[in-house]
């Protein structure tokens, strides 16, 4: 039995918004999202792509149909409002049943549908069935690195006014060699950093300024998004640098946190070396061995 753990709403948000060429929600064994509420509540509204769990005549939860639980990478369960593992609610009962077959811990969303849907109203739906094409084409939002404060994404996401409004983004850091962003129709403050995605590029010289820029916005509760063309190299390097500054993380701690939010992130080797120098600057010593397989 793999066990049951709690997860925060932003962790589920990030799982729902992973994308390679298409949304990862189209992958058969990527995410099994289970709504453990009563069927009438599920039909009114639920989290996008969630399946309602069925019970037998005795009220015992039944394994979800057409789901290979033992090969599923992520299994997440929610009910109306469960907030701790001591609550003997529908989410816990369902999660315990699924954990018997799962190879990975089954997660329960803290606060359930009520809390998640209050934060991410744009991820609620009445839609129950999806074709593979519909799943592939689902909009992917920027991943959330600091809950309600900082996001990382790509330039296409910055160009989507709906995303900026949904996430209430107030400021954007754009890292691009050639494409300086203009404020969008929703009037974000923009800091353009003219750096190419090359091992020879100097992003280190911008770390102090970008950290000050983010600090000045999140200190007042404003939301900041960091973007680069693909949102994988420059964007993630800047995110890691800020986490090292803001949370006093080592390079390895900041790397692991960013990787948890976006597994496809990958600063190039030049930026990795600069992040090692940034660790020396922020910690007074190089703590992290960047020759480890993690990097």
- The CATH architecture assigned to 4-136 reads 3-Layer(aba) Sandwich (3.40)
What is residue 177's predicted lDDT score, i.e. its pLDDT?
87
Same fold, 4-136 and 143-283: no
- Record the tokens describing residue 154, joined without a space: 């790509």
Write out residues in the chain with pLDDT < 70, as ranges. Answer: 1, 179-186
- Record the tokens describing residue 103, joined without a space: 């190879």
Q: Are 194 and 176 in contact (CB under 8 A)?
A: yes
Mean pLDDT, the chain, integer: 95
Three-state SS annotation for the chain: CCCEEEECHHHHHHHHCCECCCEHHHCCCCEEEEECCCHHHHHHCEECCCEECCECCCCCECCCCCCCHHHCCEEEEECCCCCCCCCCCHHHHHHHHHHCCCCCCEEEECCHHHHHHHHCHHHEECCCCCCHHHHHCCCCCCEEEECCCEEEEEHHHHCCHHHHHHHCEEEEEEECCCCCCCCCCCCCEEEEECCCCCCCCCCHHHHHHHHHHHHHHHCCCCEEEEEECCCCCHHHHHHHHHHHHHCCCCHHHHHHHHHHHCCCCCCCHHHHHHHHHHHHHHHCCCCCCCCCCCC
What is residue 185's predicted lDDT score, i.e. its pLDDT?
62
What is this structure's pTM? 0.95
45 vs 50: CA distance, rounded Å: 10
What is residue 196's predicted lDDT score, i.e. its pLDDT?
96
Cβ neighbours, 10 Å, residue 8: 17
Q: Fold for 143-283, please state it.
A: 3.90.190
What are the distances in angstroms from CA 189 to CA 16, 153, 228? 27, 16, 16
What is residue 214's predicted lDDT score, i.e. its pLDDT?
98
Domain ranges of the chain: 4-136, 143-283
What is residue 59's predicted lDDT score, i.e. its pLDDT?
86
What is residue 179's predicted lDDT score, i.e. its pLDDT?
66
pLDDT per residue as tens digits for the range 143-196: 999 999 999 999 999 999 999 999 999 999 999 987 666 666 668 899 999 999
Q: In what order do the strands lie in the sheet with 169-175?
A: 143-146, 150-154, 223-228, 169-175, 189-193
């Amino acid at each position: 039995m793999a066990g049951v753990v709690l997860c925060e709403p932003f962790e589920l948000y990030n799982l729902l918004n992973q994308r390679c060429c298409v949304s990862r929600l189209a992958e058969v064994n990527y995410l099994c999202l289970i709504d453990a509420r009563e069927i009438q509540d599920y039909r009114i509204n639920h989290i996008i792509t969630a399946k309602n769990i069925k019970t037998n005549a005795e009220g015992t939860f039944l394994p979800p149909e057409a789901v290979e639980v033992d090969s599923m990478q992520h299994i997440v369960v929610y009910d109306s409002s469960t907030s701790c593992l001591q609550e003997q609610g529908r989410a816990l009962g369902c999660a315990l049943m699924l954990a018997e077959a799962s190879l990975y811990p089954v997660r329960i969303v803290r606060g359930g549908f009520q809390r998640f849907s209050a934060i991410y109203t744009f991820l609620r739906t009445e839609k129950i069935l999806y074709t593979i094409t519909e799943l592939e084409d689902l909009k992917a939002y920027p991943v959330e690195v600091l809950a309600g404060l900082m996001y990382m994404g790509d330039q296409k996401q910055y160009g989507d006014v709906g995303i900026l409004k949904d996430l209430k983004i107030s400021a954007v850091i754009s890292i691009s060699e050639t494409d300086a962003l203009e404020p969008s129709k929703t009037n974000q403050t923009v800091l353009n950093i003219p750096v190419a995605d090359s091992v020879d590029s100097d992003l280190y010289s911008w770390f102090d300024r970008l950290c000050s820029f983010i600090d000045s916005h999140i200190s007042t509760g404003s939301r900041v998004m960091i973007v680069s063309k693909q949102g994988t190299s420059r964007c993630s390097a800047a995110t890691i640098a800020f986490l090292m500054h803001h949370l006093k993380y080592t390079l390895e701690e900041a790397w692991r946190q960013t990787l948890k939010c976006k597994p496809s992130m990958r600063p190039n080797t030049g930026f990795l070396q600069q992040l090692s120098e940034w660790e020396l600057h922020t910690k007074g010593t190089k703590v992290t061995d960047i020759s480890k397989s993690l990097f």
